[in-house]
Amino acid sequence: GENVEQHPSTLSVQEGDSAVIKCTYSDSASNYFPWYKQELGKGPQLIIDIRSNVGEKKDQRIAVTLNKTAKHFSLHITETQPEDSAVYFCAASSYSSASKIIFGSGTRLSIRP
Amino acid sequence: ETGVTQTPRHLVMGMTNKKSLKCEQHLGHNAMYWYKQSAKKPLELMFVYSLEERVENNSVPSRFSPECPNSSHLFLHLHTLQPEDSALYLCASSQDRQATYEQYFGPGTRLTVT
Give me the residue from B40, B90, B103 closest to A9, CB to CB: B40
Least Cα separation, residue A11 to chain B (angstroms): 14
| Residue among A43, A99, A104 minimizing CB distance to B42 | A104
- Which residues of chain B does A102 touch, with a Cβ-Cβ cutoff of 8 Å? 42
Considering only the beta carbons, identify the residue of A49, A94, A105 that sits closest to B42: A105
Question: How far apart are the C-alpha atoms of B35 and B60, rounded to whole Å?
Answer: 11
| B 59-88: CB under 8 A from A | none
Average pLDDT over residues B71-83: 95
Nearest to A103 among B4, B31, B42 (CB): B42
**Which of A6, A75, A2 minimizes the C-alpha distance to A35?**
A75
Among chain A residues, the shortest Cα distance to B39 is held by: A105
Q: Up-side HSE of residue A39: CA atoms within 13 Å toward CB? A: 10
Report how many Cβ contacts below 8 Å link chain A to chain B. Answer: 67
What percent of chain B is predicted at pLDDT more than 90?
A: 76
Q: How far apart are CA A102 and CA A69, in angstroms?
A: 19
Q: Is some CB atom of chain A closer than 8 A to the CB atom of B4?
A: yes
| Average pLDDT estimate for B84-102 | 92
Neighbour count for residue B84 (Cβ, 10 Å) = 8
Number of H helices, E strands in chain B: 0, 11
Does position B111 have pLDDT exceeding 90, yes or no? yes
Mapped onto helix, strand or coil, the DSSP state of residue A44 is coil
Mean local confidence (pLDDT), A83-96: 91
Q: Is the pLDDT of residue A97 over 70?
A: no
Whether the CB of B21 is below 8 Å from some CB of chain A: the reply is no
Express each pLDDT in B28-67 by its tens digit.
999 999 999 998 788 999 999 988 888 777 789 999 999 9
Q: How sure is the predictor about A96, in pLDDT bands with cuts at 50, 70 and 90? A: low
Is pLDDT above 90 for B87?
yes
pLDDT at A24: 97
| Per-residue pLDDT tens over the stretch A9-66 | 999 999 999 999 999 999 888 999 999 999 999 999 999 999 988 899 999 999 999 9
**Res. B79: pLDDT tops 90:** yes
Q: Which residues contact B7 (CB under 8 A, 6 or more apart)?
A: B21, B22, B109
Cβ-based burial of A10 (10 A; exposed 0-12, middle 13-18, buried ≥19): exposed
Q: Cβ–Cβ of B42/A95 closer than 8 Å?
A: no
Query: According to the model, what pLDDT value does residue A16 have?
Result: 97
Closest Cα of chain A to B10: distance in Å?
A: 11
> Hey, is the C-beta of B33 within 8 angstroms of any chain A C-beta?
yes
pLDDT band at A98 (very low <50, low <70, confident <90, very high): low
Sequence-distant (≥ 6) Cβ neighbours of residue A99 within 8 angstroms: B31, B33, B45, B48, B50, B55, B56, B97, B98, B99
